[in-house]
Structure 1
Amino acid sequence: MEQLSPFYDEGISDTRFNLEHFNQGMSQTDVNQFMHKLLSTIDLSRLSEVYFQQLQVRLRLESIDIQFAEKTLSLGSKRPQTHPKTLSCLRSGDTFASIHYGFNRALSVGDWQILQQMHMYFCNPLNNALEHYKIKQFAMKDFLTSLGNRASYDEALSRLISQAERHQAPFGLLVLDLDNFKQVNDQYGHNEGDKVLIAFTQTLLHCLRDTDFAFRFGGDEFCCLLPDTTAPDIQVIAERIKAAVTHTGLLRKYNVSCSIGSTLYQRHDVAATMFARADSALYQAKQNGRNCIKVA
């Protein structure tokens, strides 16, 4: 992994940066403008987009992959690049992120200096954004199941609707409710009820694709968002969930099944209209004797 040149001393602060080292690098005006853009947001996704845009303008960057905590945030072309570069971001001597830069051309000495310079300035805002991201992720998780909570669902649904509007990317919504769950709490206590919810969560996640999202709204109500999905796909996934629940030991022991309402994004949908259709379908499934799937 390529590291920063020796003159990138971790102890040098942004305000004391010595431009004499960069005969072919960025001017002080460029640095100030660049830093101003980086400091305009602490949101990880937005910050990464700003950084990528700046690199595209200055260095014709094709792609960027930011790796942190076993996650990767990718922007730009998905094609393999012929001249990749990798640099680390350090905090107290330890790597907290690795950034893979994709180029389709060899970098000149001046371009390589600019890349290192921009990377160095990006690391501190990136560190702050990652800390913010961790706090936000914690706040958007259900404590018991570790699934996303209602706030997480709202954010993910809003993002998928925006993508659907811009790129005609279809996606589906499942609203799920556990049948006979209340009697578990009433007869065996909430500790046993919690075990049932955890068992259902594990079963649900096993049935979903890697690209799908699962959320717990509270109690025994769950939702799933299914990107890049057609109506037949939604039905297959819903059937898989329903069947898997009936074969899960703890759920079968307490006669807990699953009713599901499903719908596909329709043009001009907003969050409320889409959820209302799926929730109405769930109500019909409950009315039809439970342990079934209804499509809206």
Structure 2
Amino acid sequence: MQTLNILDNKFSRFNTLTTLSAESLTEDNYYRNKVINKRYTLSVLERLQTTLDIDELLEIFAIEVTKYLDFAGLYFKSPTLCKTLKGSRKAKQERQFELKVNQEFLGTLTYGVNSPISMTNFNVLEQLHQCLLYPLKNAIAYHQAMQLAMQDALTGLGNRRYFDEQLKRAMHHANRHHSMVGLVLGDLNKFKAINDTFGHPTGDKVLTEFANVLKASVRDSDSLFRFGGDEFAIIIENADDNALAIIESRIKQTLTDNPLLSKYKLTCSLGATFMSRADTEQSLFARADQSLYRKKMNMSQKLTVV
């Protein structure tokens, strides 16, 4: 008689779970207790509906899956986002499931497993996936709405509100893991003259192209923001001593090589600093802002001398 695989404490994040007995998980008993299973699925659904945070949702879901299946990792991927369950590790093979609501594709849910999934396990997963669908759809919609609320509409970079959140998170992470965070603030020199001479549509093109310059000059792990107007910011996490100088050099070189921005003789000023352990978000920002101010003053003095 085939029985479900019971979690044997290989997935360390959920070692404290109390698993069901082998007798209660026999295939005959599973199908014989449909009323109990229906109550159970309603209970799972209620727990999944307690959050709109996708990471928390996957954790709640994973706790239920571990009662029935031994897996090493869980991954969700949709057209707009990718999520990995904390504690996931590489397994011998992967099993992927498509998640759909009324033919609407939500994404794929992938399990890292070290042994094949039995038909009984497959049926259990299918039942749990049905519980996950609508809470996941709502969480994705909420995530997309929050992303839009955190984005600058013109450039697609993060806005000031998102910057404040990310800077706080990055500094907390750096203090916890004893890593370095760099902050770069920048603005465009004489951008107002471009707007006044060529019009705001051209100014918008210049801002969008400068955002592309920033994207091409930083790592995927760095975060870019536009505060409005011609003010920009970069948060560099897990930085080393040379990170700020390298990024500044890349921005200036990419700016020089860009045909559109070279046409309008666009330049920028950059102020940069590293976080100290005594910093708050306000003191770190103020120091970077002072650095930017000094750079702009030096440029003005050079232009005056010339």
TM-score, normalised relative to structure 2: 0.78
1:98-247 matches, cutoff 5 A: 98-107=108-117, 110-247=120-257
Task: Find the residue that maps to 1:211 and give its secondary structure.
Answer: coil
Separation in 2 of the partners of 1:112 and 1:25? 20
Alpha-carbon offset, residue 143 of structure 1: 1.4
Separation in 2 of the partners of 1:231 and 1:180? 31
How many residues get paired? 273
Preserved contact between residue 24 and residue 113 of structure 1 (Cα < 8 Å)? no
Preserved contact between residue 25 and residue 113 of structure 1 (Cα < 8 Å)? no
Task: Find the residue that maps to 1:246 and give its secondary structure.
Answer: helix
Task: Find the residue that maps to 2:261 and give its secondary structure.
Answer: helix
Preserved contact between residue 26 and residue 114 of structure 1 (Cα < 8 Å)? no
Which deviates further from its counterpart, 242-251 or 214-223?
242-251
Structure 2 runs not aligned, ≥5 long: 1-28
Separation in 1 of the partners of 2:103 and 2:294? 58
Structure-2 residue corresponding to 1:289: 299
Structure-1 residue corresponding to 2:258: 248
1:46 aligns with 2:56: yes
Alignment RMSD (CA, Å): 2.8
| Pair 48,79 (structure 1): closer, same or farther in 2 beyond 3 Å | closer
Preserved contact between residue 72 and residue 112 of structure 2 (Cα < 8 Å)? yes
Structure-1 residue corresponding to 2:86: 76
Which deviates further from its counterpart, 75-84 or 121-130?
75-84
Preserved contact between residue 73 and residue 90 of structure 2 (Cα < 8 Å)? no
Alpha-carbon offset, residue 171 of structure 1: 2.8
Task: Find the residue that maps to 1:231 and give its secondary structure.
Answer: coil
Alpha-carbon offset, residue 90 of structure 1: 0.7
Alpha-carbon offset, residue 170 of structure 1: 2.9
| Pair 57,267 (structure 1): closer, same or farther in 2 beyond 3 Å | farther
Alpha-carbon offset, residue 179 of structure 1: 1.0
Separation in 2 of the partners of 1:127 and 1:154? 28
TM-score, normalised relative to structure 1: 0.81
Which deviates further from its counterpart, 243-252 or 50-59?
50-59
| Pair 40,168 (structure 1): closer, same or farther in 2 beyond 3 Å | farther
Which deviates further from its counterpart, 146-155 or 247-256?
247-256
Which deviates further from its counterpart, 259-268 or 71-80?
71-80
Preserved contact between residue 174 and residue 180 of structure 2 (Cα < 8 Å)? yes
| Pair 86,216 (structure 1): closer, same or farther in 2 beyond 3 Å | same
Which deviates further from its counterpart, 129-138 or 44-53?
44-53
Deviations 1:60-99 (A, max 9, x none): 5322111111531112356431142211111222322111
Identity of aligned residues (%): 33
| Pair 155,54 (structure 1): closer, same or farther in 2 beyond 3 Å | farther
Task: Find the residue that maps to 2:183 and give its secondary structure.
Answer: strand
